[in-house]
Amino acid sequence: MIAVIRSLGRGNIEVHIGNPSPQNPARASRYVSAIHDIPAYSPDQCHRWIKAVQAIMTREQFDLVIPCSDPTQIPLQQHRKELEPHGKIYLLDDAVFKTITNKISVNSLARKAGVQLPREMVIHSANEAPLIKDSFKIPIVLKPTSSFDSNHIGERRTVQKIYSYDKLDSAIAKMLNYGPVTIQENFIGCGVGVEFLLNQGKPLLEFQHIRLHEPLHGGGSYYRKGMAVTPHLREAALAILGQLKYTGVAMAEFKINLATGNWIFIEINGRFWGSLPLAIASGADFPLALFKLIVDQQTEHNTSYRTGLCCRYWTGDFNWQLANIRADRSDPTLATRPLSTVLKETIVSTLALKERSDTLTLDDPMPGLVELRQLTSTIAQRFIRPIRRRWLQSQLARTRLKSRARIALLQAQTVLFVCKGNICRSPFAHQIAKRLFPPNRTCISAGYYPKANRPSPATAVTAAAQMGIDLSEHRSIQLTEELVNSADAIFVFDFENYERLIADYNCRHKLHLVGAMSSGPIWIDDPYGQHIDQFIATYEKISKAITTPFNSKASTS
């Protein structure tokens, strides 16, 4: 998102952003004129999301709305008929979108065009698993049909690499819940992206990068280097995109074995990509060019760019560095790099003034400073978190926490219960407290898991019913900054909940632990996926913790 913001802002275009996460450094950009709060998208409550987007588009009269990720692109694409009358949105043709987000369909186009693919097979049933073991050696790559869909917008379905036949059946069974699974043989190589802005399949702007640091088992990249476009990779990408008469931005991903020169096609990303800051820093300004194409119908753009620049996502690369140090270097399937090479490439690019950052730029330094602060905090928390956890469990801390929590529960006008998913613990606590609160006080619950409108699991419903609480009609609510700000007191259940809210929101002063209000364990763990006995035990702890302050108050009255 930050790269798109800067590109448009530097082009003297007023930029608004919608619903960025609280920790997103893009919020601090000098090019952001306004931030709009949009409710989380849910298929069952899409009308609320549609109305919110319609209202913002009507009020602001944008020249163009640009989705910057799959979870924002999918609902916009799906509800374009309701939204496009209110303003112009950058979206793909519906047929193109349906194809480009289906890995099986894209690979079919690649085969038709004669583009090199790894050996693969598509399975539709777990009964086909024995065929895989007979045909493919370990490690095996498993690919879902799509990474996202509108029914599971908050759940990314990732590519998996299986290193043991013993784990194959369970992995396939889980992935088949969302559709056919593509099985591919593993290809050893590094990732290369060829990026385009196209108009009816004709390239208007091009760029290419090679991944220097990528996850050891494959995936996105954290450190990349710009390079000249490789003719045969360009030809392969355009052979696929040309069949679709593609209009918009896209990145074709390949893997290249630098030792042999062999290569394979991986996939097409039909939206802006993670390495976009490198392209823009190099002179390939895709977002501004896209704006001019869609809004002004401009097809002539500066196509030259600087090669050799390197760009780093600091947070991701820090974690990669740790993983690379600890990795088994005897395993050729891991994307490790020699430590001497890692050190040398950084020194060389820095001395040559070719080192860039995804978030830190001279004209817009704040997002980079925010990321540095977050990274520093993350590193510090590796040492502080265990100390804080032990302190919160100490008798001295518990005495203070107990007093604060009880006062807050008894006096706060609006109380918010938060757990991870808002389907097990927080809705039960909500209902218990609701029974005890007078009519003039408000009680709500939510979860930070990025998917709303989920029902409580059947085990939770049964366990709650045994304690006189009805969760059958409950549907999860996703936590927002608005909910946090509106609450006078917030109650969480375990250390993960506590740390997450401190990290994401300015709420430490009103954050409390449910478990601190009774004499039992201070942490009330998530029973999700466990036996009903565990649910009942958890609900008994919650009930005791919430009712105890009210009982104590009654006995002293």
| Contacts (Cβ under 8 Å, ≥6 apart) of 258 | 189, 190
Q: Residue with structure tokens 């006078």?
A: 488
Cα-based angle 454, 409, 437 (whole degrees, multiple of 5)? 75
Which of 224, 312, 425, 454 is the catalytic position? 425
Query: Rounded to 10 degrees, what is the CA torsion of 47, 51, 54, 56?
Result: -140
- Separation between Cα atoms, residue 453 and residue 318, nearest integer Å: 35
Rounded to an integer, what is the distance from CA 95 to the centroid of its chain? 25
Q: Pick the catalytic residue from 419, 424, 443, 507.
A: 419
- Angle between the N-to-C axes of helices 2-10 and 286-296, in degrees from 0 to 180, rounded to the nearest 10: 60
Between CA 253 and CA 229, with CA 211 as vertex, the angle to 5 degrees is 60
Q: How far is CA 223 from CA 39, 284, 321, in A?
A: 33, 18, 11
CB-CB contact of 209 with 225 (8 Å): yes
Alpha carbons within 13 angstroms on the beta-carbon side of residue 464 total: 24
Per-residue tokens: 84: 């496009």
Q: Is the CA virtual torsion 158, 161, 166, 172 positive or negative?
A: positive
Percent composition of the chain: helix, strand, coil (DSSP 3-state, to 5):
45, 20, 35
Choose among 20, 19, 17: nearest CA to 4: 17
Task: Please tell me whether residue 260 adopts helix, strand or coil conformation.
Answer: coil
526 is catalytic: yes
Question: 241 with 226: CB under 8 angstroms?
Answer: no
Q: 388: which 2 tokens?
A: 């804080």
Indicate if 504 belongs to the active site: no
Distance of alpha carbon 302 from alpha carbon 112, whole angstroms: 32
Could you tell me which of 246, 250, 301 has the C-alpha nearest to residue 272? 250
User: How far is Cα of residue 512 from the mean position of the Cα atoms in its chain?
Assistant: 27
Determine whether 435 is an active site residue.
no
Q: What is the DSSP string of 105-165?
A: HHHHHHHHTT-----EEEESSGGGHHHHHHH-PSSEEEEES-S--GGGTT-----EEE--G
Q: Pick the closest to residue 161 from 331, 338, 323, 342 (CA basis).
A: 331
C-alpha distance from residue 174 to each of 21, 88, 126 (Å): 29, 39, 10
CA neighbor of 286 nearest in space, from 8, 526, 2:
8
Angle at the Cα of 272 from the Cα atoms of 324 and 303, rounded to 5 degrees: 105
Per the CB < 8 A criterion, the answer to whether 203 and 223 are in contact is: no
- Here the tokens at position 160 are 């998996």
Q: Which residues are catalytic?
A: 419, 425, 526
